[in-house]
Amino acid sequence: MRAMGVWAMLAAAAMAGPAAAADAEAGRETYERYCASCHGIEATGSGPMRPVLTVKPTDLTALSAGNEGVFPLARVVKRIDGRDPLVAHGSPMPVYGDFFEGEDVALKTPAGQPVLTSRPVADLVAYLEGLQDGQAD
């Protein structure tokens, strides 16, 4: 029975793009609350905590530029939700514990593969994707 649920979720992901599963405005609010202190309100890596960090925060507005013009959706999801831990955060991401957990939603990578993650992470990724290449409003 569980396998049928997974297949249904994957089928839904194949028919819907990232925007269908995510809310960039909610992602902006999440970003401002949990990420801006290190990455900065403009996501360029110049937050107020930058001077005390051993590893300088990434410029999140240049993720596509650093990936041949393609937003690295799967890599960003996995970095945020903890599947690709970043030691500089003091522990695997997310350092905010259960906040980034919850009901899984499916996002589709540029290559068409579905990536499952929680709604808060999907929303945050949608916001970050909108910051690429000067798309921020």
Distance CA 133, CA 82 (A): 26
pLDDT level of residue 134 (50, 70, 90 thresholds) = low
- From the list 67, 55, 85, the residue with the least C-alpha distance to 128 is 67
Identify the pLDDT of residue 14. 44
Task: Tell me how many domains the chain contains.
Answer: 1
Q: Give the model confidence (pLDDT) of 102-132 as tens digits.
A: 788 999 999 999 999 999 999 999 999 999 9
Contact by Cβ (8 Å): 31, 60 = no
| Residues 41 and 50 sit within 8 Å (Cβ to Cβ) | no
Rounded average pLDDT over 68-89: 84
User: Whole domain around residue 46: which residue ranges?
Assistant: 2-134
Residue 3 to residues 24, 25, 82, 115, 122, Cα–Cα distance (Å): 30, 33, 24, 16, 23
